[in-house]
Structure 1
Amino acid sequence: MLSFLPTSTSAPLKVLCLGAHADDLEIGAGGTLLRLLEDRAVDLCWVVASAAGSRAEEARASVAGLARGAASCEVHVWDLTENLFPSQLGDLKSRLWELQQTFSPDLVFSHRLEDRHQDHRTCAEVIWQTFRDQAVLEFEIAKFEGDLGQPNLFVPLDVAQMDRKLQHLEAHFPSQAGRPWFDPEAFRALARLRGVECNSASGYAEAFTARKLTLDFS
């Protein structure tokens, strides 16, 4: 399959990651980010919109471990009120607009527009309002709402990458242990399904919704 990412390695790929909560990015795109950091030089900007106390500590420790191979890593852990993002849309948009003035990404990872969790959905809406000239990949998270869709972009993961993702989640988010949706079997099952859909050699993949991509043949 063809890649849509720039092939030039003269400068690091600039990647922005926005997650509503401390573990969202790692659940939805952790394997992809591990693979990307193995394959490319990356300037990473990592934003968690809502985390406080021990959850903020988990978020910072997680990205420190995940982004160890990044060319650079800028981390923002914000203090929006969990479960009330729709009423804070203006605040979130202002913060991202300010961030955009100093970091212009080539690639953005965030939530799906169809995500039924209000915090996730608000992040997705604001990303599209703020980053209009970037490639945006919307990740998926299995949860109570039952809102998984039909993604159209897949990133195959080898077995080692899949295992590293699960180990990373278990090691860095002990506060979520025991929650029915925070389960390694569930994470592996979804990756296995997406692996079937893209004919991954290992059987595993992460999947994304890519609404708009521009191909430049020059």
Structure 2
Amino acid sequence: MTLPRRVLFVGAHCDDVELFAGGLLARACEERCEVGVLVFSDHRGVLEGALAAQSREEMRSNLAWLSEQTGTRIVDHSGAMLAACDGSFVARRAEIYGAMERLRDGYDLVVTHAPSDTNQDHQQVAAEAQRALKAHATVLGGEFPNNDLGTFRATYYVALSPFAIDAKARMIEAYASQRRDGRPYVDGAVARALAKVRGSQIRSEAAEAFEIVGRVIAR
């Protein structure tokens, strides 16, 4: 299946897109799609100031690297960063909705968090995506096993090239700011293992799985 030509990736925090859809992000760039990224937090509050700024720069560096590797321009739509995991996403849900509303006519496919994700910021972004985009774009929720209690429904698979899975692993491991508290998922080997399993389910070398969380729209 050919990807839609305009793809937007929406994450709560700076490392989220690479974690739940780094392979699809790379494939969209390989296929020279129009690609946008929107995130809402650099982990400030959870990370102290310097580390939060580092997280934002790590994301910028990942996007610049992927653009250089593929020749595809990635538009970073991210604006002011919210505090993480302290209720700010709920209190400022209208801003999150508005940021997606302003972009919704520009993209055919939006990839964001699965609604079942247990992180509170991830849940709020997923909810606003469903509200803002339901009539405008196909919405997929990415797989984040660390936050899944068994309710993630793998209903949409994307096969990945060797470059795409290598790119995902590289971008995840670029987040030195996140290698703390024994986080097992900031590890390229984990990403490769999951991609291998998902690939085996569709007779492909590697794949990412997504949940269909909105209407599937073909125009």
TM norm structure 2? 0.82
Instruction: Report if aligned partners of 2:11, 2:112 keep a CA contact under 8 Å in 1.
Output: yes
Alignment of 1:16-31 (within 5 A): 16-31=8-23
| Superposed displacement of residue 183, structure 1 | 2.0
Work out the CA distance in 1 between the residues paired with 2:83 and 2:216: 33
Residues 146/183 of structure 1: CA separation in 2 closer, same or farther (3 Å cut)? farther
Q: Name structure 2 gaps, 5 residues minimum.
A: 43-51
Q: Which amino acid aligns with 2:78?
A: H
Residues 44/164 of structure 1: CA separation in 2 closer, same or farther (3 Å cut)? closer
Identity %: 31
Q: Which amino acid aligns with 1:126?
A: E
| Superposed displacement of residue 29, structure 1 | 0.9
CA displacement 1:105-136 (0-9 Å, x = unmatched) = 11111111111111111111111111122111
| Superposed displacement of residue 168, structure 1 | 2.5
Aligned residue in 2 for 1:209: 211
Alignment of 1:40-59 (within 5 A): 41-51=32-42, 52-59=52-59
| Superposed displacement of residue 43, structure 1 | 2.2
Secondary structure (helix, strand or coil) at the match of 1:67 reads helix
CA displacement 1:124-181 (0-9 Å, x = unmatched) = 11111111221112111121554562311111123343223212322x3111235222
Aligned residue in 2 for 1:188: 192
Residues 165/24 of structure 1: CA separation in 2 closer, same or farther (3 Å cut)? same
Alignment of 1:1-12 (within 5 A): 3=1, 5=3
Q: Which amino acid aligns with 2:34?
A: D
Instruction: Report if aligned partners of 2:159, 2:207 keep a CA contact under 8 Å in 1.
Output: yes
Q: Which amino acid aligns with 2:41?
A: S
Alignment of 1:21-100 (within 5 A): 21-39=13-31, 41-51=32-42, 52-68=52-68, 69-71=71-73, 73-83=75-85, 84=87, 85-100=89-104
Secondary structure (helix, strand or coil) at the match of 1:114 reads coil
Residues 25/54 of structure 1: CA separation in 2 closer, same or farther (3 Å cut)? same
Q: Which amino acid aligns with 1:63?
A: L
| Superposed displacement of residue 57, structure 1 | 1.3
Secondary structure (helix, strand or coil) at the match of 2:99 reads helix
Instruction: Report if aligned partners of 1:117, 1:145 keep a CA contact under 8 Å in 2.
Output: no
Range 15-24 or range 184-193, more displaced = 184-193
Q: Which amino acid aligns with 1:187?
A: A
Q: Which amino acid aligns with 1:30?
A: G
Q: Name structure 1 gaps, 5 residues minimum.
A: 7-12
| Superposed displacement of residue 215, structure 1 | 4.7
Secondary structure (helix, strand or coil) at the match of 1:53 reads helix
Instruction: Report if aligned partners of 1:4, 1:215 keep a CA contact under 8 Å in 2.
Output: no
Q: Which amino acid aligns with 1:143?
A: N
Q: Which amino acid aligns with 1:157?
A: L
Residues 197/78 of structure 1: CA separation in 2 closer, same or farther (3 Å cut)? farther
1:115 to 104, 114, 117: 117
CA displacement 1:47-82 (0-9 Å, x = unmatched) = 111014111111211222223322452431431110
TM norm structure 1? 0.82
The two structures, once aligned, show a CA RMSD in angstroms of 2.2
Secondary structure (helix, strand or coil) at the match of 1:30 reads helix
Instruction: Report if aligned partners of 1:16, 1:108 keep a CA contact under 8 Å in 2.
Output: yes
